[in-house]
Structure 1
């Protein structure tokens, strides 16, 4: 093995010397052009040992695997008409004569709000443009959810794949990309991932958008996306029948997405460039590139935020005898980004925090409604906000398909249903009141439950030795301890969130 390694170095060194001599012989080139030409020729004569092994493996027979249609998390129909709870016998702030432990007075923490520049209205907030890197060759200009990006590419990338899919054609295309000067693009993708705090999903979306901007057809886009994602360390896997498909594993279940199972691992046809539907068998390889093992981590906190135009929405509802208007602003591109994500497990939704400015606005406006009241009254006021400030519609009615919403999306869309409201309510209880909260997952319905410091009358569940009081942000005007009638007596699954 040592002799083989030395031979590789000698061969590479001779190629580099030959390239350097040919460049020196051209006096019309600048110093930079000479260096660049010599470096590129040297690189094209060299293949990483892992690439060599991988190309050899790709040329072997690919195995057929069966694809399966995406699963649904909850197939039970949701209620289309929501009942209204009977009015309270006594005012919410009236003393309760039932003997119980007192619930403490709430102190609401207030984050420092993020402010727009003076003389700037939310609707005309300036678009943030990041300084473009110094690129001398061809480059793609991207608008990535409001972030202006400029990323280099090389001449091999636009024609990444133009053949009928086969193992030999795919191996040849991989080798062409591996021999090309791909490293400047790879390094710029890595730098962008770091600077924009991109999650794995955002990174995969960026790679797909980059490939879309650079290549000339769908198979070339998929080929280049696969190559770059593997080079970034992801377990991206190519498959084909009469066209190419890109599939990736995830650290959590993904719903409504075609997948196949290989080596006990599910590989999902994630919607990186729109929905992907695969029917029947596809061919794929068994052994992955040595450097590529990372799944898409959906359980990790999402820190990426879109930039650009800001939208304002006013949410109105009745609190006692007063109309309350809650005004929120948020970047439209963040809604577009969240909408790009596939449907995930229910626990993923409440934990995705709001943009800092939106969170600060909600806190400053909701704080006066909660301050100085007991935990029970404060929770009831948050319930009232979520129950009555939003129109109720099922996902089928609003989107013609199941579509769980993140809290920011619930603030954005005209209507929402039970799991959307439960996610937003849970986030607000955690953020404003610092109380433990879980989700209650019934067939066809999702509610929440809060662990109060003191005792609260009404329906409750015991989970892991702790008592949680039912709080349903969909059951109109229901207070803590009230279960929607059609689900009374049922035992829901308890979903830990906060």
Structure 2
């Protein structure tokens, strides 16, 4: 018997209808692909072929240039708070911070905790190309321990050649856009969904795919740019002596250079190997119809990484009793979080912990606070965060400003004021259901808690409620006690 091609066998077994339907689908897929290319790429290529405009890359914004305490002060363990007078005037005012000039900040959020919306990953409804094409290959790459597979058109292997100018970049885009790229984009988006990545993680995934194909920086950046735009992101390239990738974001970014164009802020996010220095670069005007989605850094603990867990034990002493908390957390989160650019304070307070780690920590702390008054329960959580973690400033530990997500605070040997404040705030809201706000002093971050009953001590008003100071860095300090160096200083109050 002669060897029959798969479709021929299908035809013999099922009649001509199924094979004909398959061929009709294949023809329509190719027709749809060509239509998509015509409608969405030709106008964009015209933008790219025009003379690119020079723009000024601005220096990175800094969150807080004031130095932090080198050593946290300690309060006497037996000290109590006697007064009920706020640290500043008692007029109820809204201290929500104003917008930082020159940078888009996320809109103000209500002071009451609200359920976080699910990140909607950018999607493009499109059919899969013919996976049997001789031009398709399936290279694998690893994303924080998880293997990812994607069909790769031959054009994706093409190295960018020639000088950096608008004509050559337009030609390179045309080469990529003329390939059967839809299946690759759809496959990578499906992998991002399986790994439960937010949009920042999804952008990283696309960049890792481009890195698996190119060692040449310009080729890798241009392929990343192409794929991110096709996946729906507002990504843009600019060039000086090399190509740089920039993206818009829903949150303000710090420590990252940027430029503004057409009312949008484009950040030189650290998908680049080297930071884009302030100066002049050239970029195109206009925007691809597919690329509208800004990066969103919220819900960072959605990600489900592969690999082993790491274990650590934390001990603290309170009311003549010693407590020991043993935790396990996915180790690969640490390198994943290290990829994040610097965000504004509320983002770290909203992040939380991965589900398994969160549940374990809460389960072990529940007996510590069970049966206590609100004030006493908060004091116990304060003592845990104040004394179970060693203190060092970011400059000492990282040689640069580096706010930590709560999981990073559990991982690294040291933490400073904003790191402890974010962990304490999450614990207080999760275990006790009490509303917490951020007290942002020059060079220091603390928190304040809205109690249901009357609690004495230093307080700050916000939205017709009083928030009692709770400082996770002021060692042994109880609720209502302000670190001496900041007594009488009015902080900026952030909700999250």
- Normalising by the smaller structure, the TM-score range is 0.7 to 0.9
CA deviation after TM superposition for structure 1 residue 160, in Å = 4.8
| CA-CA distance at 1:322 after TM superposition | 2.8
Look up the SS of the partner of 1:316 in the other structure.
strand
Task: Give the deviation of 1:195 after TM superposition.
Answer: 2.0
The answer to which of 222-231 and 187-196 deviates more is: 187-196
Name the residue aligned to 2:78: 88
Deviation at 1:320, TM superposition (A): 2.6
| 1:307 CA displacement | 2.1
Aligned residue in 1 for 2:103 = none
Contact 2:298 2:351 in 1 (8 A): no
User: Is residue 392 from structure 1 mapped to residue 391 from structure 2 by the alignment?
Assistant: yes
Contact 2:244 2:272 in 1 (8 A): no
> What is the CA–CA distance in structure 1 between the aligned matches of 2:373 and 2:215, rounded to whole Å?
62
Q: TM-score of the superposition, structure 2-length normalised? A: 0.82
Q: CA deviation at 1:298?
A: 2.5
* Cα-to-partner distance string for 1:419-458 (whole Å, 9 max, x where unaligned): 0000000000011111000010000000000001101111
Aligned to 2:186: 187
Moved more, 454-463 or 214-223: 214-223
User: How far apart in 2 are the matches of 1:393 and 1:275?
Assistant: 27
Identify the residue that residue 137 of structure 2 maps to in structure 1. Answer: 138
Structure 1 residues 275, 362: closer, same or farther in 2, change over 3 A? farther
Deviation by residue 1:378-406 (Cα, 9 ceiling, x = unmatched):
00000000000001000000000000000
What does 1:23-34 align with in structure 2 at a 5 Å threshold? 31=7
Q: CA RMSD in A?
A: 2.6
Offset of residue 39 of structure 1: 8.8
Partner of 1:48: 38
Which range moves more in the overlay, 152-161 or 262-271? 152-161
Structure 2 CA distance for aligned equivalents of residues 447 and 350 of structure 1:
12
Q: Is the 8 A contact 1:160 1:223 kept in 2?
A: no
How far is 1:45 from its partner?
6.6
> Hey, what does 1:282 align to over in structure 2?
281
Structure 2 contact 406–419 (Cα < 8 Å) conserved: yes
Stretches of structure 1 that go unaligned for 5 or more consecutive residues are 1-26, 99-133
Q: Does 1:469 align with 2:459?
A: no
Paired position in structure 2 for 1:63: 53
Q: Return closer, same or farther for 1:255/1:275 CA change in 2, 3 Å cut-off.
A: farther
- Residue in 1 that maps onto 2:218: 219
Q: Corresponding residue for 1:101?
A: none
Q: Secondary structure at the match of 2:453?
A: coil
1:417 and 2:416 aligned: yes
Q: 1:329 & 1:220 partners in 2: Cα distance? A: 40
Query: Which shows bigger deviation, 178-187 or 141-150?
Result: 141-150
Flag the structure with more relative contact order, 1 or 2, with Cα contacts below 8 A and sequence separation at least 6: 2
When structure 1 is superposed on structure 2, of 381-390 and 144-153 the one drifting more is: 144-153
What secondary structure, in the 3-state scheme, does the structure 2 residue paired with 1:295 have? coil
Tell me the distance in 1 between the aligned counterparts of 2:273 and 2:360.
33
Distance (Å, rounded) in 2 between the aligned partners of 1:28 and 1:57: 49
Does residue 1:458 correspond to 2:448, yes or no? Answer: no
Please tell me whether the aligned partners of residues 299 and 351 of structure 2 are also in contact (alpha carbons under 8 angstroms): no
1:360 shift after superposition: 1.2
Q: Is the 8 A contact 1:306 1:337 kept in 2?
A: no
| CA distance 1:208–1:369, change in 2 (3 Å) | same
Once residues 316 and 263 of structure 1 are traced to their aligned partners in structure 2, the CA distance between those partners, rounded to angstroms, is 53
> Contact (CA 8 Å) 1:40, 1:181: kept in 2 or not?
no
Aligned residue pairs total: 432
Does 353-362 or 467-476 show the bigger shift? Answer: 353-362
Q: Which runs of 5+ in 2 are unaligned?
A: 9-21, 85-129
Measured in 1, the distance between the counterparts of 2:27 and 2:83 equals 88
- Write the distance in 2 (CA, Å) between the matches of 1:228 and 1:343: 24
